[in-house]
Structure 1
Amino acid sequence: MSTSLIYGKDGIYRSPRPPISLPKDPTMSMIPFLFRDISALSKIPALVDAETGLNLTFSDLRTQVFKLSLALLNLKISKNDVVLILSPNSVLFPVCFLAILSIGAIAAPANPQYTVNELTKQVRDLNPRLIITVHELYDKIKNFGLPCVMLSPKSSTFTDRTTNSPILYFQELMKSDDTSKVQTWPSVLQTDAAAILYSSGTTGTSKGVVLTHRNFIASALMTTSDQETFNDSKNVFLCFLPMFHVFGLSTILYAQLQRGNTVVVMARYEIEKVLMAVETYEVTHLYVVPPVIVAFVKQSEIVMRYDVSCLREIGTGAAPLGKDVMEGCAKIFPQAALYQGYGMTETCGVISVESKKATTSRHSGSTGVLDPGVEAQIIDIHAMKPLPPSKTGEIQIRGLNVMQGYFKNQKATSETIDDQGWLRTGDLGYFDEEGQLFVVDRIKELIKCNGFQVAPAELEELLLSHPKIKDAAVIGLADAEAGEVPIAYVVPSFINSLAEDEVKKFVAQQVAPFKRLRKVVFVDEIPKSSSGKILRRELRQKLISKL
């Protein structure tokens, strides 16, 4: 691939992939777009519960979405009303999500691990009209005084201990298909808000990202642009990544369903259950976050117990992954094309991805070339000018997948998206001469040691290559002389199998002096977000508390 194909004289990098074509009808929103080929798909399984084997065909899915849509309208949920979804993954999660969107309301999936305080902030921000949840999470939302739809079946063991939150049951709502109370079906446009997803908040206050129907459609088309011709082969995707996160919701769930693919749903990740599901349901495509790839490599003996020869593709994203780990995983799954991608909540999950059919430039540590229709700039963080290939700067993105803005936060929106539509990612990276994008690190996570920049991701990749290290994270520690120095948090593969000096020496032999570790802290686990990003802020707080 020639750089001249993607890098223009205007300093803009453009995708070499064929452009996508959005529906020209402005009323072709996510739901009609998803079910546009329903006659050909009606008997094909759309969603399968990995644990029970229960499946919904595309016809079943459309019927359930329609019934719940009617129920929501009869509950007086109107266009632009916000509905909060607090639930682990299940086949009912997408039914609820799609039903909310079909009537022009806005879905706001929340992290089931959130505390009451975290949910309180989100509820105050969103002012939802309704909460959809399960019995296990009810105590977290019972005092909000909002009506609640319970996805769990009625149970004698569950007792509503408060009258603040009126409870309705999903099963009961689905028994009625009364259309007499519905005055008009809301008109939904591609430009309407579809969902509000909260950013991880690892580099500041968590903000609601407003994504439109057009964002989701564009992202879905971009994600599947390299996929085989429609219905040429049977594609089965496994989704254990949380559906409240853009990776699970957009890149796996919606993107693949709109191509007529089957999605097997798991409530949570457990390595053996994942491998068992791959074997049982003959999963062909697996999307994972980097910690899962690392687990596959470090626990290869577990992988070997299962027949995973059905896997054709393994995709990873959400955080940088080193070349050595990619190559290690490729050896375990030799029959599967292994590729890395790059995306953000603010870009509806997609920016770039390695070509799944490429025979060169694979496992280079890059995140591939830009997705169809995506433009990028690499901006010098000091001179604020576009940079040519091989020069590192802030990655800025423009395209149909870029969010509408931050919910009720115009200041943050204007600081993130300029008047020409460029989104500041806050990530450092560069394009090589082949047009491959390399993401180096977060700007705010760079360690400044004696005037030199140290990227934590580089040191983390190196640490993970050590056979006795299971996981690692690097942060900066304030230093009177150097400004900051790198320190590492390390999870040993075995208890007492490592000494601090051994780790320091291992790194020192392979890096420049300013990158050498000044301190190593052994821990049981590295705190991470649901998408696999290291929660460096938590590590810094732990460090400060011990100083």
Structure 2
Amino acid sequence: MVGTVSLAAGYGSDGVYRSPRLVAAIASDPGLSVTDLVLRRAAACPSAPALVDAATGRALTFGALRSAVLVAAAALSSRAGVRRGDAVLLLAPNCVLYPVCFLAVTALGAVATTANPLYTPREIAKQAADARARLVVTVSDLLPKISGLRLPIVLLDGDGAPVPSGCPSSNVTLYSDLVAGVQEAEYRHTPIGQGDTAALFYSSGTTGESKGVVLTHRNFIAAATMVTSDQDELGEGHNVFLCFLPMFHIFGMSVITLGQLQRGNAVVVMARFDVDAVLAAIERHRVTYLFCAPPAMIALAKHSRGGRYDLSSLRCIGSGAAPLGKDVMVAMADRFPGVDIIQGYGMTETCGIISLEYVQKGCARQFGSTGALVTGVEAKIVNAKTMKHLPPSQLGEICVRGPNIMEGYFNNVQATESTIKNGWLHTGDLGYFDERGQLHVVDRLKELIKYKGFQVAHYKRLRKVTFVGSVPKSAAGKILRRELIAQVRLSKL
């Protein structure tokens, strides 16, 4: 039974916080796949741009995207032997073919597992083994990292680079050869349920070993609605999103690429972040939305040459993947007047989204929160020791539930049971809701620094400081504390 909402914060008498947003219908067809969700746009707007290469301007319309995905799916099935339930490892920088391959894999009922191109060969091998990958889709520059996997390889670029020793050339197929002569009509639709696994994304591992997060078609379908409902509520038309965030990360794939494509928005694809290249792409492609991680926001805030570019198309710049300080948001607002500067919060385990700021025109901004819960997501704040529900302005662990929540960790029952309890995902993050229903994420529960058994608060005196040349961070901008700890341990040997 739904509790009565007693506060503007959306806090009910049952101790549950609910989204203040209008309820948005999430597609309920049990046989709908995430591929179907995206490709249905081909019928509505076949000639509209879907994916655009930021550097060259070459684009795939929604009609061409549908054809490319179905041809790739047919080729992967008939020529590479990919079957329902098989895992396919995607190891490549952002490119137009990346989401084509992702959607082709999911169209077959197979499982896409994405890996960071910066991983070491050992890390790649570990993920490939854990995910039980049967095929690798990659680029020629990364061949040396996977030569020891002994798996069939599909090469996206095919620039004639020599195959490294230890990697049999018979194992390597150029993507262009794979799809050559294959017709869209050869694709045979595979019955897929929303509850079937679509992808294995690996958590960032900030608190330990990286774990495979099992995400279903329903998770992606729900998340796609959640991240675009504000655009619909505001009556926005066609939008253009710039994506330099890595597509192997849940932010880049779920929130930007799949979420925006299913709405009919265009996604401009960049292989990597460069401030001038980003600003030039905004001008050239009339970008309206730019989603970033904090390091990119900081770089943009400090950039002094923005005035050289026509950025009049830009409506919104959003930050996610790691906390962003008020000072940076204020600096960004000064640097980009008239552009909404917002912040959101999500996890791999929530298919990338939990909360998002919603800027109401004429209302004073209070930078610092990650916004209100997105439609369809509920939350509670609990005392980490007693599990008691906490009202607004009280700090505790953030727990969430909704149709975007993962099935669990792949082949790891213990980790799943310690994270999902009675239908609630325990995020491991500390935070609180304020009286306006805005969620503030303060710290990691599992990463609190302790001294002689006591938690260190900010006013505690430091005993020792070590200066380092740089702070190790993940591709999403999160500080890799485990690497800092390892550095300290090595310094003591």
TM-score range, shorter chain: over 0.9
Cα distance in 2 for partners of 1:233, 1:180 equals: 32
Do structure 1's residue 272 and structure 2's residue 276 form an aligned pair?
yes
Do structure 1's residue 337 and structure 2's residue 340 form an aligned pair?
yes
Q: Which amino acid aligns with 1:42?
A: P
How far apart are residue 518 of structure 1 and its match?
4.2
Do structure 1's residue 67 and structure 2's residue 12 form an aligned pair?
no
**Maintained 8 Å contact 1:92/1:151:** yes
1:319 aligned to which of 308, 317, 322: 322
Cα 1:323–1:2, aligned 2, differ >3 Å: closer, same or farther? farther
**Maintained 8 Å contact 1:287/1:315:** yes
Do structure 1's residue 114 and structure 2's residue 116 form an aligned pair?
no
1:424 aligned to which of 407, 415, 426: 426
Do structure 1's residue 301 and structure 2's residue 296 form an aligned pair?
no
**Maintained 8 Å contact 2:39/2:65:** no
**Structure 1 partner of 2:132:** 127
How far apart are residue 230 of structure 1 and its match?
9.6
Do structure 1's residue 176 and structure 2's residue 176 form an aligned pair?
no
Cα distance in 2 for partners of 1:286, 1:295 equals: 14
| Structure 1 residues 392-434: Cα deviation after superposition (integer angstroms, max 9, x where no partner) | 010001000000111111111111101x210010000011111
**Structure 2 partner of 1:244:** 248
Give the greater-gyration-radius structure (CA). 1
Cα distance in 1 for partners of 2:174, 2:197 equals: 27
Query: What are the equivalent positions in structure 2 for 1:10-25 lying under 5 Å apart?
Result: 10-25=14-29
Cα distance in 2 for partners of 1:216, 1:356 equals: 25
Query: What are the equivalent positions in structure 2 for 1:101-500 lying under 5 Å apart?
Result: 101-155=106-160, 157-159=161-163, 161=165, 162-163=167-168, 166-177=171-182, 185-228=189-232, 232-297=236-301, 299-357=302-360, 359-360=362-363, 362-418=365-421, 420-448=422-450, 453-454=455-456
Q: Which amino acid aligns with 2:426?
A: R
How far apart are residue 97 of structure 1 and its match?
0.2
Do structure 1's residue 541 and structure 2's residue 486 form an aligned pair?
yes
3-state SS in 1 of match to 2:471: coil
Cα distance in 2 for partners of 1:398, 1:236 equals: 30
**Maintained 8 Å contact 1:351/1:370:** yes
| Structure 1 residues 244-296: Cα deviation after superposition (integer angstroms, max 9, x where no partner) | 00000000000000111111000011122111111221111000001111122
Cα distance in 2 for partners of 1:521, 1:195 equals: 40
Cα distance in 2 for partners of 1:153, 1:450 equals: 56
How far apart are residue 306 of structure 1 and its match?
2.6
3-state SS in 2 of match to 1:362: coil
Matched pairs, number? 486
**Maintained 8 Å contact 1:83/1:105:** yes
How far apart are residue 452 of structure 1 and its match?
6.5
Q: Which amino acid aligns with 1:543?
A: V
**Maintained 8 Å contact 1:318/1:531:** yes
Cα distance in 2 for partners of 1:230, 1:378 equals: 30
Cα distance in 1 for partners of 2:378, 2:271 equals: 35
Cα 1:27–1:366, aligned 2, differ >3 Å: closer, same or farther? same
Cα 1:10–1:2, aligned 2, differ >3 Å: closer, same or farther? closer
**Structure 2 partner of 1:492:** none
| Structure 1 residues 153-201: Cα deviation after superposition (integer angstroms, max 9, x where no partner) | 242x42353327611111112222258987x532011111000000001
How far apart are residue 229 of structure 1 and its match?
6.2
| Structure 1 residues 220-247: Cα deviation after superposition (integer angstroms, max 9, x where no partner) | 1000110146985331110000000000
**Maintained 8 Å contact 2:330/2:367:** no
How far apart are residue 95 of structure 1 and its match?
0.4
Query: What are the equivalent positions in structure 2 for 1:10-89 lying under 5 Å apart?
Result: 10-74=14-78, 75-89=80-94
RMSD: 2.1
**Maintained 8 Å contact 1:430/1:437:** yes
The answer for unaligned runs of 5 or more in structure 1 is 460-511
**Structure 1 partner of 2:475:** 530
How far apart are residue 2 of structure 1 and its match?
7.4
Cα distance in 1 for partners of 2:246, 2:217 equals: 20
Say which is worse superposed, 315-324 or 210-219, in terms of deviation: 315-324
**Maintained 8 Å contact 1:154/1:169:** no
| Structure 1 residues 9-50: Cα deviation after superposition (integer angstroms, max 9, x where no partner) | 111111111223222321111122112232331111101111
3-state SS in 2 of match to 1:340: strand
Cα distance in 1 for partners of 2:85, 2:223 equals: 22
**Maintained 8 Å contact 1:47/1:265:** yes
3-state SS in 2 of match to 1:197: strand
Identity within the alignment, %: 51
Cα 1:180–1:251, aligned 2, differ >3 Å: closer, same or farther? closer
**Maintained 8 Å contact 1:29/1:213:** yes
| Structure 1 residues 61-103: Cα deviation after superposition (integer angstroms, max 9, x where no partner) | 1000010010011032111110001100000000000000011
Cα distance in 1 for partners of 2:384, 2:345 equals: 20
Instruction: With the length of structure 2 as denominator, give the TM-score of the two structures.
Output: 0.94
Cα distance in 1 for partners of 2:173, 2:386 equals: 57
Cα 1:534–1:373, aligned 2, differ >3 Å: closer, same or farther? same
Cα distance in 2 for partners of 1:92, 1:181 equals: 20
Instruction: With the length of structure 1 as denominator, give the TM-score of the two structures.
Output: 0.85
Q: Which amino acid aligns with 2:469?
A: D
